[in-house]
Structure 1
Amino acid sequence: MSTQLHSPPITWFKAAGLGVAGSLIVLLVVLAFLWPSKATTAQHLPVGIAGPAAAVTALQDAIGAQSPETFDFVDASDRDEAVLQIEARESYGAIILGEGTTAPEVLTAPAASTAATQLLNGAAAQLQAQRTQQALATGGDPAAATVTVTPVVPLSDSDSSGSGLAAASFPLTMGGMIGGVLISLLVAGAARRLAALAGFAVAAGLGLTLVLQSWFEYLQGDFWINAAAMGLSVLATASFIVGCKSLLGAKGIGVGAVITMFVANPIASAATPWQFLTEPWGQIGQFFVPGASNWLIRSLSYFPDANLAPQWWILIGWTAVGIVLTLTAHARAAAATPAPHAQRDDEPREEVSVA
């Protein structure tokens, strides 16, 4: 007759405590995903401005009085320079003031941010109202005072609202996490894990680009460069998860997931300019994988003239961190493993597996 050992039943106090702990976890998850929308304010949006010095100063003072801190104006010598600033992602649009009675022109970049474009459209409407009032007051023709709005970098017809690229940010982060967790749990040994990460990056990069560019047509530009960016984006997240698991064991998966999903993803600013987040979180978010990958992928599609070296290096850096953590854990485990006997040079050597 077998005797079964049972663990003592959990106390009522501990049971209630576990319930409270579970509710706190749910609260943290809700806060992580809803806090960015609550903390987002239209502020410090870089916008180019060009025109006669007196007119530029007057407009800056007027907008500053009506909407303080909404725009951070970037000086441009003329319209051409303002366009170059937009195409290099140094600004989200521009206001071009003409000489004398020449009506202003507002340049927008819907591909950069629909929220920023809405702000600039609102500024154009205010300028239009002012110009119309001035024309009526002086007996001029209101039709001649029409403010022109020109989309310099429009969205593609296949993603006219910009929701496609914004929505792809979260699955991209989740994909990297899932790949990292699966490799951590199913593959043993540092070398094999690194090989699995390489295969995952190549396959995921090609697969995601086939869907998002060839099928959905959300991505624009060169297919292979986009595939490299997609692959590196998921690799950076997966490599970090694998590195945390290799070094810390099972709890490393939780550490990597919390940093990626509940810290980095909410401050990635996939749908709004990062300047809109409470300082300094918007800037900090661009140094994590979700923020850097979102900026890189959007820029490759619509802003090929932008300087994207920082984003490439940020993603490479996170990938390198994961690789270093994995190799460090492997070296530590190898050093802690006692040698049963002296091994001759001609004997086969076994690879040390790191959990």
Structure 2
Amino acid sequence: MSATPTHRAIAVMALVPTLVALALWAFAWPAARTAPRDLPIGVAGPASAVTQVEQRLEQRPDAFEVHRYTDEAAAREAIEDRVVYGAVVVTPQGPQLLTASAASPVVAGLLREAVTAQAPAGEPVKVTDVVAAPAGDPRGSGLASSILPLALAGVAAGVMVTVLGLRGSRAALALTGAAALVGLTAAALTHSWLGLLSGNWWAEAGVLGLTVLAIAGAVAGFAALLGTRGIAVGSLLMVLIGNPFSGAASAPELLPDPAGMIGQWLPPGAGAQLLRSVSYFGGNGAGGAVLTLSLWAALGLAAVLAGGRSAQPATASQESQRPVPAPVG
């Protein structure tokens, strides 16, 4: 039985507020609850002095995950390897704070405020930015803003492949080609023109392309498995959940649980982390994000290829059932 106009009107009135509520929850909730949660930070220096620093940091329960290092050089190496976001180094001249604004300008500012507030009165804190954000994007807002366009590009590619009726290997080839071209275009804009990125150009293009491929493959894969409903599932998952939960504007450890963890399992969050690692840290700390994006891309393309093969027997069966025209004469 087809829905009447009245039923359709009621469905619209119920669906729109539901989507608005979901969008507000997904975008506003993490932003309103931003705070450090097991944020990795290092401490280095004499054992007795380091213990005092740890005790001050632990006054905020579950805020920091403290790593001990023998000296400043070890702490710097940990920051460059993306093990910690920053480190407090205790020296005879007073405490020194090492930060990495390239990892997250928000975290760098938060650490500066926290360490300065906990320092003894009248004792200045020297701050050194070990891995600074590029001059073209000192606040990190440009990189954070680039994640949503990548998600939209991936969704658009997945939707277009589905709507245009591409199946199997043709669909996989179209998704891969579109993602590669988006990666090259995005690298030209973000690196060459805007100066948001400062690493190896081709590596950045590869990261941008892989991020788009993971999202596009997911959307097209859901569509191949679920039909047109899969487009809605994939789009909502990547844009409505993946983008605000990515932590690109701050850091995953600043988002409320379990948003930060979920965001890193989705392509937008993994793409943001991988782009930072490749562009600013020479690829350090990239392993988990590469694995996440590769799995989404591989599984999505596998679903697309499987959907194409399952459609072929059905088409062949329909062809065989067509009546054979009677001979003329």
Q: State TM-score, norm by structure 2.
A: 0.90
Q: Is 1:288 the counterpart of 2:238 in the alignment?
A: no
Residue 28 of structure 1, CA deviation = 1.6
Do the aligned residues in 1 keep the contact of 2:222 with 2:231 (CA within 8 Å)?
A: yes
Percent identical among aligned pairs is: 35
> Which of the residues 62, 68, 74 maps onto 2:67?
74
Q: 2:275 aligns with which of 283, 293, 297?
A: 297
Is the counterpart of residue 119 in structure 1 residue 110 in structure 2?
Answer: yes
Query: Residues 162-241 of structure 1: matches in 2 within 5 Å?
Result: 162-241=140-219
1:161 maps onto 2:157 in alignment? no
Q: CA 1:305/1:175 → structure 2, altered by over 3 Å: closer, same or farther?
A: closer
1:138 match: none
AA partner of residue 91 (structure 1) = V
Shift of 1:89: 0.8
* Runs of at least 5 residues in structure 2 that lack an aligned partner in the other structure: 321-329
SS at match of 2:58: helix
Structure having the higher Rg: 1
Match of 1:56 in 2: 50
Matched residue of 1:95: which SS?
A: strand
* Distance verdict in 2 for CA 1:18–1:225, change over 3 Å: closer
After superposing the two structures, state which structure 1 stretch, 216-225 or 17-26, moved more: 17-26
Is the counterpart of residue 33 in structure 1 residue 34 in structure 2?
no
Which residue identity does 1:221 align to in structure 2? G
**1:194 Cα deviation (Å)?**
1.2
* Paired position in structure 2 for 1:346: none
Which letter maps to 1:92?
Answer: Y
Equivalent residues of 2:36, 2:63 under 8 A apart? yes
Letter in 1 for 2:263: G
Partner residue in 2 for 1:338: 317
Aligned residue number for residue 329 of structure 1: 307
Please give the alpha-carbon distance, in whole angstroms, between the structure 1 residues aligned to 2:257 and 2:3: 50
- What is the CA-CA distance between 1:8 and the residue it aligns to? 8.9
Are 1:87 and 2:89 matched, yes or no? no
Contact 1:124 1:149 in 2 (8 A): no
- Counterparts of 2:196 and 2:8, CA distance in 1: 50
Looking at structure 1, the residues matched to 263 and 118 of structure 2 have their Cα atoms a distance apart, in angstroms, of: 34
Pairing 1:138-157 to 2, within 5 Å after superposition: 145-157=123-135
**C-alpha distance 26-146 of structure 1, shift in aligned 2 (>3 A):** closer
Alignment RMSD = 2.1
> Using a 3 Å threshold, how does the CA distance of structure 1 residues 307 and 113 change in structure 2: closer, same or farther?
closer
Following TM superposition, by how much is the alpha carbon of 1:340 offset from its aligned partner in structure 2, in angstroms? 5.4
Aligned match for 1:261, one of 215, 239, 261 = 239
Check the 8 A contact 1:93/1:107 in 2, yes or no.
Answer: yes
Kept in 1, the 8 Å contact 2:43–2:53? The answer is no
Tell me how many residue pairs correspond in the alignment.
319
Partner of 1:136: none
Taking the aligned partners of 1:263 and 1:207, their CA distance within structure 2 comes to 25
Most deviating of 71-80 and 329-338: 329-338
Cα distance change of structure 1 residues 20 and 331 upon mapping to structure 2, 3 Å threshold:
same
Q: CA 1:183/1:104 → structure 2, altered by over 3 Å: closer, same or farther?
A: same
1:30 deviates by 2.1
Correspondence for 2:101: 110
Q: Residue 193 of structure 1: CA displacement?
A: 0.9
Q: 2: distance between equivalents of 1:147 and 1:8?
A: 68
Query: What do residues 232-264 of structure 1 show as CA deviations (whole Å, max 9, x unaligned)?
Result: 110111111111222222111111112212222
Name 1:4's counterpart in structure 2. Answer: none
SS at match of 1:31: helix
- Secondary structure of 2:87's match? strand
Which stretch shifts more, 89-98 or 13-22? 13-22
Identify if the C-alpha distance between structure 1 residues 305 and 53 changes in structure 2 by more than 3 Å, giving closer, same or farther: farther
Cα contact 1:47–1:74 (8 A) shared by 2:
yes
Instruction: Indicate if the aligned counterparts of 1:87 and 1:305 stay in contact, CA closer than 8 A.
Output: no
Shift of 1:69: 2.6
Structure 1 spans left out of the alignment, 5+ residues: 1-6, 133-144, 342-355
1:315 aligns with 2:289: no
Cα distance between partner residues in 2 of 1:21 and 1:291: 27
Q: Distance in 2 between matches of 1:248 and 1:126?
A: 54
Give the deviation of 1:231 after TM superposition. 0.7
Distance apart, 1:210 and its partner CA? 0.4
Mapping of 1:240-251 within 5 angstroms? 240-251=218-229
Q: CA deviation at 1:105?
A: 0.7
Q: Which amino acid aligns with 1:335?
A: P
